[in-house]
């Protein structure tokens, strides 16, 4: 995922599904300097981690 899209998802009022290598996560913050994000798995909200942006993917469901 590119950093612009990650920022758009963070700023969105809608809940947009994002995965990190298949695990549903919430994007908590973005570090533009090293292109990483702080995320936490939706089932472990206390377990935040720093991950590379390219490992994030948006779950786009088609109607």
Classify residue 15: in a domain, yes or no. yes
**Average pLDDT, stretch 30-53?**
94
Q: Give the range of the structural domain holding residue 54, as residue numbers without chain letter.
A: 3-58
Query: Do the domain assignments include residue 63?
Result: no
Predicted pLDDT of residue 32: 87
Sequential DSSP letters for 1-63: --HHHHHHHHH-SS---EEETTEEEEEEEEETTTTEEEEEETT-TT--EEEEGGGEEE-----
Q: What is the pLDDT of residue 26?
A: 95
Domain of 37, CATH number, reads 2.30.30
45 — pLDDT class (breaks 50, 70, 90): confident
Domain total of the chain: 1
Question: What digits encode the pLDDT tens for the residues 8-37?
Answer: 999 999 989 999 999 999 999 999 899 999
């Amino acid at each position: 995922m590119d950093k612009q899209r990650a920022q758009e998802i963070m700023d969105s009022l809608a809940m947009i599904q994002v995965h990190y290598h298949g695990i549903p996560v919430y994007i908590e913050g973005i570090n533009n300097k090293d292109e990483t994000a702080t995320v936490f798995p939706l089932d472990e909200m206390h377990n935040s981690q720093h991950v590379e942006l390219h490992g994030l993917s948006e779950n786009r469901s088609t109607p």
